[in-house]
A and B are shown apart, each in its own frame.
Chain A
Amino acid sequence: MTKFSGLDYYEIDGLLTEEEVLVRNTVREFTEEQILPIIEKNYRIGTFPMDLIPKMADLGMFGSTLPAKYGCAEMNNVAYGLVMQELERGDSGIRSFASVQSALVMYPIYTFGSEKQKDYWLPKLASGESVGCFGLTEPDYGSNPGGMITTAQDKGDHYLLNGAKMWITNGTIADVAVVWAKLNGIVHGFLVEKGTQGFSAPEMIGKHSLRASVTSELIFQDVQIPKENIFPKTDGLKSPLMCLNQARYGIAWGAIGSAMATYNTALEYSKTRIQFGKPIASFQMTQEKLVFMVAEITKAQLLCLQLGRLKDKLTLRFPQVSLAKRNNVQMALEIARMAREILGANGILDEYPVMRHMANLESVKTYEGTHEMHTLIVGQDITGIQAFV
């Protein structure tokens, strides 16, 4: 297969700055050389490629929008989005790792943490020396996180944490967990370090999706948290939702990478697969599928670029992120399914990345806010009427 050179049907590269293009190209090359050669094997055996962590850290992929004084690249949000896009062209699991570390761990520490928490954790997380995870979802509270039953009690010189979290990316390999729990009925954030007594993070097994990513439970049984480990600047449930908004922003970009991967595979395949004496790309039904893919990817690219520009201008509204996450993941999933149709039986083999992306996207569609919840968030935004709760 020829070297991947992206899809840019509308000369959207011309709307990017020199630095943004350079960032995109660097991560594209990284994905080509470091992720694609190993990912199918990791996916098959169900492991996260741990040796990618220092390599991604060296390039500055963790917390890349945060200030340089913490060892971060201090890039803008469009460049960050392009990093997510290129990583997810490799695999949603790799993008998820970087998303969680950046948007769900470093972002809340930076935004809600004390100076001491920031100075201690951000450089370690940026350099990949420490891995983080984010615990909000519970077995019985997914779309409705406000109902969470994990609690923290003030015991004078410490907090006592009890409860369980589920579907936690990086949980088992994390050195620090950002955990959300109710203290006197109000949601607060706590930093829970690996090895704290009463805290365990068993890995969830049996996934048919995101197999190259660690997904865990977090279990807290009378875990004593030092007082200094509470986030001082949170504001109830709004704070973890702000984190999710950061992560969703990255997912909207990531889905474009996945779609480009499956589109590109389908395009190349259709030009070389001969049936009835000619390439299947010469059949109208195949062309219709390929054109659908190009159109959807192009729209998603423009959607994300403007979303990123708004985020950089600080005028972004969260329903706009919901719209992009909802649209882009759905289109990537549809494109993966169409690519599988174009590849026929070959589409199910791991010689091609299509089935892996398709299975991954089934998770991406429902994590960080299900497709339905994002629909209702936009629905509420445009009608003024909340259709849930």
Chain B
Amino acid sequence: MKCIVCVNHVPDTEAKIKVGADGKYIDKAGINHILNPYDEFATEAILQLKEKNGGETLAITLGGDSHKETLRKALAMGVDKAILLKDDSVRDSLSVAKALAEELKKHTPDFILFGKQSIDYYNEQIPGMVAEILGLPSVTAVVKLTVEDKKVICHREIEGGQEIVETTYPVVISAHKGLNEPRYPSLKGIMASKTKPITEIQPIAVAPVVETITMFKAQSKQAGKIVGTDAAAVPELVRLLHEEAKVI
């Protein structure tokens, strides 16, 4: 079984984000980057698929040299090999998806895993686009994955509940929190990752069709209002919550 995880290198959730001088993209200087948290579930999923079914695992990312750190983490967790589609240029989701699909095709994978979204730009487009380009079934926001012969059964997180869907592989799956408990990269795994190959490949160029015009940070919240400090303030508080905040 051949399993591939597509991973992204995103700003740490604790990073203080600044908009770059161009007003379109974030300023990456001095920001710590990590393996996209949802991609950790996807990585763990392919490791478990290999442990159960044998075969090989591969991690792919598209980006600059710094993305190797994220590939290294996937390798340290236990993925066999990694590919860096080396390209620092500005791409929209479709151009990333096309470049990934072009590379994925060469490997004839059985399972292609993604995190359900990257925690930086929130587009949530790539898994679906890649599946469409490759003509494969796509299941998103998966919280449980079972493979029986050719059957793939996925539990999906939906509003207020779950749904269970069935498909066959090859398949593109996007992982949601709850799919598994991602393992820590062990110290041995980290040392072993040094000898695992990261192959650099020039991805196909695709002109973007969606352009970012501007980016700005949300305004910080306004200060709260103190209505009173004793029980006498309750009616006024209830009125404000009802009429102004409209939450009750």
A residues adjacent to B (C-beta < 8 A): 2-3, 5, 18-19, 21-23, 26, 29-30, 58-61, 64, 68, 72-75, 79, 83
Given contacts A3-B13, A22-B185, A30-B184, A73 and B191 within 8 Å (CB-CB): yes
Minimum CB–CB distance for A249 against chain B, Å: 17
A2 CA / B13 CA spacing, docked (Å): 10
Check B188 for interface membership: any CB of A closer than 8 A: yes
- How far is it, in angstroms, between the C-alpha of A227 and the C-alpha of B189 when the chains are bound? 38
Which residues of B are found within 8 Å of A5, using beta-carbon distances?
12, 14, 32
Q: CA A23 – CA B193 in complex, angstroms?
A: 12
CA–CA, A58 and B188, complex, Å: 9
- Minimum CB–CB distance from A229 to chain B (whole Å) comes to 29
Q: Which residues of B contact A79 (CB under 8 A)?
A: 187
Instruction: Tell me whether B186 is interfacial, beta carbon within 8 Å.
Output: yes
Q: Which residues of A contact B184 (CB under 8 A)?
A: 26, 29-30, 59
Bound-state CA distance A204–B223 (Å) is: 54
Interface residues of B in 180-224 (CB under 8 A from A): 184-191, 193-194
A289: min CB distance to chain B, Å? 24
B73 close to A (CB within 8 Å) = yes
18 contacts across the A-B interface (CB closer than 8 A): A2-B14, A5-B12, A18-B68, A18-B69, A19-B72, A21-B69, A22-B69, A22-B72, A22-B190, A22-B193, A26-B186, A26-B190, A59-B184, A60-B186, A60-B188, A68-B191, A74-B188, A74-B191
Cβ contact within 8 Å between B185 and A73? no
Question: 3 smallest A-B Cβ distances: which pairs?
Answer: A60-B187, A73-B187, A60-B188
Q: Is B76 an interface residue (CB 8 A)?
A: yes
Supply 16 further A-B pairs (C-beta < 8 A) apart from A18-B68, A58-B186, A60-B186.
A2-B14, A3-B13, A5-B32, A19-B190, A19-B191, A19-B193, A19-B194, A22-B190, A26-B190, A59-B186, A60-B187, A60-B189, A73-B187, A73-B191, A74-B188, A75-B190
Residue of B14, B69, B187, B194 with highest tally of chain A CB at under 10 A: B187
Number of B residues near A (Cβ < 8 Å) is: 19
Q: Is the CB of B191 within 8 A of A26?
A: no
The residue of chain A having its C-beta at the shortest distance from the C-beta of B69 within the complex is: A18
Closest Cβ–Cβ distance, residue B39 to chain A (whole Å): 15
| Chain B residue contacts of A58, Cβ below 8 A | 186
Contacts of A29 in B (CB 8 A): 184
Closest to A2 in B: B14
Chain A residues with Cβ under 8 A from B69's Cβ?
18, 21-22
The majority secondary structure among interface residues of chain A is helix
Enumerate chain B residues within 8 angstroms of A26, measured Cβ to Cβ: 76, 184-187, 190
Query: Chain B interface mostly helix, strand, loop or mixed?
Result: helix
Nearest B residue (CB) for A72 = B188
- Which residues of chain B are near A68, meaning CB under 8 Å? 188, 191
Give chain B interface residues in 155-192, CB to chain A under 8 Å: 184-191
B191 in complex: contacting residue of A59, A75, A83, CB < 8 Å? A75
Contact partners of B76 in chain A: CB under 8 A: 22, 26
Contacts of A61 in B (CB 8 A): 187
The answer to whether A73 and B14 touch across the interface, beta carbons within 8 angstroms, is no
Q: Which residue of A lies closest to B189 (CB)?
A: A60
Nearest-CB distance from B4 to chain A (Å)? 22
The smallest C-beta distance from B202 to any residue of chain A, in angstroms, reads: 23
| Of listed B184, B189, B194, residue having the most chain A CB within 10 A | B184
Contact B190 A73 (CB under 8 A): yes
Which of A18, A30, A61, A83 has the most chain B CB within a 10 Å cutoff? A18
Q: How far is the CA of A75 from the CA of B12 in the complex (A)?
A: 26
Residues in chain A near residue B189, CB distance under 8 A: 60
Which of A2, A29, A30, A58 is packed against the most chain B CB atoms within 10 Å?
A58
| Least CB separation from A57: chain B residue | B186
Q: Are A83 and B72 in contact (CB under 8 A)?
A: no
With the chains together, A29 CA to B14 CA distance in Å? 14
For the complex, what is the distance from the CA of A18 to the CA of B13, rounded to whole Å?
20
Give complex CA distance A30, B186 in Å: 11
By a CB distance below 8 angstroms, the chain A residues around B185 are 22, 26
Instruction: Look across to chain A and name the residue whose beta carbon is closest to the beta carbon of B183.
Output: A58
Q: Is the CB of B73 within 8 A of A22?
A: yes
User: A23 with B14: in contact, given A5-B32, A18-B69 (CB under 8 Å)?
Assistant: no
Whether B72 and A18, one on each chain, are in contact in the complex, defined by CB atoms closer than 8 angstroms, is yes
Contacts of B14 in A (CB 8 A): 2-3, 5
Chain A nearest CB, measured from B177 CB (Å): 15
How long is the Cα–Cα vector from A62 to B13 in the complex, in angstroms?
Answer: 30
Q: Could you say which of B14, B72, B73, B186 has the most chain A C-beta atoms within 10 Å of its C-beta?
A: B186
Residue of A with least CB distance to B194? A19
By a CB distance below 8 angstroms, the chain B residues around A22 are 69, 72-73, 76, 185, 190, 193
Alpha-carbon separation in the docked complex, A380 to B73 (Å): 45
Q: How far is the CA of A145 from the CA of B68 in the complex (A)?
A: 50
List of A residues within 8 angstroms of B73 by Cβ: 22
CA distance A29 to B13 in the complex (A): 14
CA distance A22 to B185 in the complex (A): 8
A302 to B173, CA, bound (A): 45
Closest to A13 in B: B32
> In the complex, what residues of B have CB within 8 A of residue A30's CB?
184
Q: Cβ of A3: which chain B residues have Cβ within 8 Å of it? A: 13-14
CB distance from A51 to the nearest CB of B (A): 16
The answer to whether B188 touches A73, judged by C-beta atoms less than 8 angstroms apart, is yes
Given the complex, which residues of B lie within 8 Å of A74, measured CB to CB? 188, 191
